[in-house]
Amino acid sequence: MKRLENKWALVTGSSRGIGQQIAWGLAERGCNIIVHGRDVKNLDATLAKLKTFGVQTHVATGELSTDAGVKQVIEQAMAAPGPVDILYNNAAVQTKYQSIFAVDQAEWDRVFQINVWALIKLCQAFAPGMRERGYGRIINLTSGIADQPSLAAYSVSKAAVDKFSRDLAAEFKGTNVLVNYLDPGWLQTDLGGPNAPGQVESVLPGALVPALLEKDGPTGRFYGAQDFKELER
């Protein structure tokens, strides 16, 4: 698969789970990584393995649940040795199972703040620079969740991610800033739960496909990580 030397990627929520796997997969292809977590102490395992790939690393910490936290993440990521060329908006929160009629506004606000508003602000912060440099890959993680009214706040937030990704792709059409959205599959993570059918490692190599697209590649499209299991790591 394509190499990514001299590129920098910001992967939100890369202290564990899917984000951690994506960070490791990118580094395996030579990409420098900006790791993100709520607290620096949560990033030890991710950083330790990244060292084995010989890439540069940088840390951005902050809570995506607050505007101040999102601003902190952006400022710290912008202080990295290189600009963000690849943005993986991976961090997200789930909602508890409850009747669709019982979800109050506070819960809608909580889920949308992290899953949608933070994602949009990160795109707004880094996409213009990508256009100026003539290169960018934005991958927004979505979900294949369907027909689960008891998880409505989560599923609706992901539908918003899909639509925003398509609109952002249209904004950058013809600029070599490609914006796509990725379903990692139902995996055994803190969000997916222990009963999910897939191991978290199965997100690779499929999750890297939209980051490895050539110039004028597909944009504004859906990718399923589990559709690329046969690709070589």
154 is catalytic: yes
Choose the catalytic residue: 97, 135, 154, 223. Answer: 154
Q: How many CB atoms lie within 10 A of CB 175?
A: 16
Query: d(Cα 58, Cα 223) in Å, to the nearest integer?
Result: 28
Q: Are 36 and 216 in contact (CB under 8 A)?
A: no
Separation in Å, CA 205 to CA 17, 61, 89, 96, 200:
15, 26, 17, 30, 11
Catalytic residue ranges: 154
